A = this chain, B = another copy of it.
Amino acid sequence: MTNIAFIGLGNMGGPMAENLIKAGHSLTVYDLNKDVLDAAVKAGAKSANSAISALTNANVVISMLPNGSIVKSLFTGKNGLINHLSKDVLVIDSSTIAADDARYVAQACKAKGISMIDAPVSGGTAAAQAGTLTFICGGEAEDFDKAKPILDAMGKNIFHAGASGAGQVAKICNNMLLAIHMIGSAEALNMGTRQGLDAGVLSEIMKASSGNNWSLQVYNPFPGVMPNVPSSNDYNGGFMVNLMSKDLGLAQELASKSKSPIPLGSAAGQLFEMHKYNGEGSKDFSSILKMLQE
């Protein structure tokens, strides 16, 4: 049992906190939204009036927030948490933010003697609820080792990608690659079916051949090929175009900063941005197939 302060109870943070409670941890939670606070209390958490007051007795702080500015403001802003944390507390930030922002906060923690790892997740709200998220972590090996038993309560695969920021880098590399093979799979399936092939048959052939990829395996973008995926539900649910577009923006930023050419990653980012402007921002990202169709 660990005393955990959990900041940020959104669509992801909410169920993550519940899984920690189910695993027997003692949670003190904080969020600006009173409704989600109440829900967490119902699930067994104590609620706090502020992020700072949530820290009382905490051995671990977990944050799950929408972007880097908010994370930086929380920890290193005026009266930020780093001024209130004791040195033996471990900070785990599971937000998806720029690697440079993650490194900035980790550095600021370190200067105060506080340990922090970046631990962005992969898997979406369904995995958050099921406790089967993937955590991709950056930071010192010993801090990763401390975090792992906590993360095990929320996820299935827990990776140590490397030094501070490496979790964010690996997450963004992965999601860029996901965007690319999803678009590629959509292009192949659309072209094949326009030539008279059956989408299911073509998918089976490519899965058994060198075109094989995750999109074809578990997330086919062509309606009707798989039963329980967004494409078979008018592209509802799943991972929103808006979020994929955000991640591809982070990928472009990382590429620019590291002078890494990403010709397809960049093209993918532009396609999702145009798709979003087409009014599809809240649909699942596999709806990119619709950009290719009449």
Chain A interface, >50% SS class: helix
Complex Cα distance A75/B206, Å? 29
Counting chain A residues whose Cβ lies within 8 A of the other chain, the interface size class is: 35 or more
Closest CB-CB distance, A198 to chain B, in whole Å?
Answer: 7
Complex Cα distance A265/B263, Å? 12
Bitwise, A237-275 to B at CB < 8 A (1) or not (0) is 000000000000101111110111111111111110110
Bitwise, A11-33 to B at CB < 8 A (1) or not (0) is 00000000000000000000000
CB closest residue in chain B, given A208:
B157
Q: Are B277 and A270 in touch, CB under 8 angstroms?
A: no
Which residues from chain B contact A87 at a C-beta distance below 8 Å? none
A178 interface residue per 8 A CB criterion: yes
Q: Which of B162, B254, B270 contacts A262 (CB 8 A)?
A: B270
Residues of A within 8 A of B (CB): 99, 122, 134, 136, 157, 159-163, 165-166, 169-170, 173-178, 180-181, 183-185, 187-192, 194-198, 201-202, 204-206, 208-214, 217, 219, 249, 251-256, 258-271, 273-274, 277-278, 291-294
